[in-house]
Amino acid sequence: MATLRNPVPTVDAIIELEDGGIVLIRRKNPPPGWALPGGFIDYGESAEHAAVREALEETSLEVQLVELFHVYSDPGRDPRQHTIATVFIARASGTPRGADDAAEAAIFYEHTLPTPLAFDHAKILADYFTYKRIGQKPHYS
């Protein structure tokens, strides 16, 4: 019997704070860099629950999901394996603190984003800031 190889479902959260900043985490594990809080969806867990759980685990913030932003599925988006990320926009208040597999959590703005950004998160954030400016979500190509 052939072994099936399917993409792995993940979630990311673009966490908006009241002052207009967003929360990013510095990863403890490879691949290195700054990233949106997120991770793998557990078996039996909804994408929405996974996004809230991962945000809390990595930033110590309780978030409220505001909307589904976009799905990113380029096979090369994660160097470890083929993943499909469901990206949510969320809101929170408070001071983020890195926890779990986040070495650090910090607040950034469009023109103060850190480098390097892991995965395809530079593209996701560029799409997000365009959406915030002109109200247009990314198109599928």
104 is annotated as an active-site residue = yes
How do residues 64-94 score in pLDDT, each as one tens digit?
A: 999 999 999 999 999 999 999 999 999 999 9
* Set 45, 48, 104, 110: catalytic member: 104
Q: What does the alpha-carbon distance between residue 138 and residue 116 come to, in Å, rounded to a whole number?
A: 22
Please state, in angstroms and as integers, the Cα–Cα distance from residue 56 to each residue in 19, 33, 39, 92, 134, following that order: 20, 19, 12, 10, 30
In order of their start, the domains of the chain are 8-134 (3.90.79.10)
- Write down the pTM of the prediction: 0.95
pLDDT in tens, 22-45: 999 999 999 999 999 999 999 999
